[in-house]
């Protein structure tokens, strides 16, 4: 990282790694605490600022077994205790914190489609889920995530921020949504609903203390309500917003369904990566990732105008390639598409800052090195640095890493 001229590294602390039972009363794993101290100290010794995420979807199994994890409001106090432990241990050395990474993905894939842990969805979806209700649980889980986030923010601000002099926020993911036909009022409204059901779902409570009106109208009583005290705690509970942006989509209306309700159909929208048979842009190896750099610019301007110009960090932006075992090492390191991806996104990021005054303070490519990409395993590579999975995990800088090093130096 130092050789590549990076000045900050974003990583997550694993809740069950330092609290195996999920609670302070269940015992603290000293080896886990020590591991992160060592990592943070090594980063600082090399002039690299740690940017720490508290929750990247790893609920301690003990809490899942005891009360259903984020399905229960009981998790708010346990998350607050976990966050407090992290602030106490690392707060003097860590100046950038995020509470949650991508609550939208955690809620929808874990509790609507059932494709991620804990794999819950409605029976009628026939996805072999472990129980669940796709019409209510995603909303309940997101509600408890927001309350847990707000509790962690409150404890940081009241106990640590003045002395530690750090900043804390939340990291959200969203596509930018484009009306399939820009002359169609219905398509324009569908694009806004799509944004509300992915991005506004969290930004509206964080900036106004309630969910978007679009969601309230379409989801009705299935969408939880904040008490006045909860709304007060959630509203304004961030120093910055972390934005994970990869791709954009076309949006258009979907007809109401006659079947069972579900988060996946509640917005009455459909999306596509094609318009009139033409793709939005080049497709990466991931089926959901098409190059559309202008979407980052448009999302940033939208966020500035709608949500009162918050301080923003681009916490993830990047592209995948297929792991191809037939390539030689030299061939595998030539990732010129990745250079193009970052170059173009950085171009539009600069435009948003200079021409529209968007308040962006940092940019983190996803990712530093190739990684385990959830259910895709090691079949996809997102890294600037190549990891040789067949040869003792040795690392080699790809062409993109050398380009990025030079970019940062200039």
Residue 257, pLDDT score: 86
HEC string of 268-321 equals: CEEEECEECCEECCCECCCCCCECCCHHHHHHHHHHHHHCCCCCEEEEECCCCE
Looking at residue 317, its pLDDT comes to: 98
What pLDDT score does 212 carry? 98
Which of 80, 316, 354, 355 does the annotation list as catalytic? 316
Specify the pLDDT at position 115. 94
The parts of the chain modelled with pLDDT lower than 70 are none
Alpha-carbon distance of 301 to 123, in angstroms, equals 40
5 phi/psi in degrees, rounded to 5: 70, 20
Return the pLDDT at 278.
97
| Residue 316 a catalytic site member | yes
3-state secondary structure (DSSP) of residue 76: helix
Residue pLDDT, tens place only, 63-100: 999 999 999 999 999 999 999 999 999 999 999 999 99
Whether cis (ω within 30° of 0) applies to the bond prior to 367 is yes
In 3D space, the residue among 92, 98, 13, 3 whose CA is nearest the CA of residue 47 turns out to be 3
Look at residue 258 in the predicted model and tell me its pLDDT: 85
Strands (E), 92-232: 96-101, 167-173, 176-179
């Amino acid at each position: 990282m130092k050789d590549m001229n990076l000045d900050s590294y974003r990583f997550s602390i694993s809740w069950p790694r330092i609290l195996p039972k999920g609670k302070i009363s269940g015992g603290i794993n000293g080896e886990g605490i020590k591991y992160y101290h060592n990592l943070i100290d090594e980063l600082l010794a090399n002039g690299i600022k740690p940017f720490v995420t508290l929750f990247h979807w790893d609920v301690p199994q003990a809490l899942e077994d005891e009360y259903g994890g984020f399905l229960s409001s009981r998790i708010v106090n346990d998350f607050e205790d976990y966050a407090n432990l992290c602030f106490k241990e690392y707060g003097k050395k860590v100046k950038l914190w995020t509470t949650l990474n991508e609550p939208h993905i955690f809620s929808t894939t874990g509790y609507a489609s059932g494709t991620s842990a804990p794999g819950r969805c409605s029976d009628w979806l026939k996805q072999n889920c472990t129980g669940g209700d796709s019409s209510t649980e995603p909303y309940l889980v997101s509600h408890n995530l927001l309350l847990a986030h707000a509790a962690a923010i409150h404890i940081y601000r009241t106990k640590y921020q003045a002395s530690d002099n750090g900043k804390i926020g939340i990291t959200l993911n969203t596509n930018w949504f484009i009306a399939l036909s820009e002359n169609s009022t219905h398509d324009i409204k569908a694009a806004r609903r799509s944004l509300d059901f992915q991005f506004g779902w969290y930004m509206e409570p964080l900036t106004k203390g309630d969910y978007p009106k679009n969601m309230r109208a379409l989801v009705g009583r299935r969408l939880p309500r904040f008490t006045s005290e909860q709304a007060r705690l959630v509203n304004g509970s961030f120093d910055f917003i972390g934005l994970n942006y990869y791709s954009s989509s076309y949006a258009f209306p979907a007809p109401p369904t006659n079947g069972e309700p579900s988060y996946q159909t509640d917005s009455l929208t459909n999306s596509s990566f094609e318009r009139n048979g033409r793709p939005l842009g080049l497709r990466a190896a991931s089926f959901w990732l098409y190059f559309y750099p202008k979407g980052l610019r448009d999302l940033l301007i939208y966020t500035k105008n709608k949500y009162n110009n918050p301080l923003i960090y681009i916490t993830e932006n990047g592209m995948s390639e297929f792991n191809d075992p037939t390539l030689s090492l030299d061939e595998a390191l030539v990732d010129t598409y990745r250079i193009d991806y970052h170059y173009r996104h950085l171009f539009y990021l600069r435009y948003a800052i200079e021409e529209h005054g968007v308040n962006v303070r940092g940019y983190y490519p996803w990712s530093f090195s190739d990684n385990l990409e959830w259910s895709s395993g090691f079949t996809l590579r997102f890294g600037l640095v190549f990891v040789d999975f067949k040869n003792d995990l040795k690392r080699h800088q790809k062409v993109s890493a050398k380009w990025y090093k030079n970019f940062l130096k200039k």
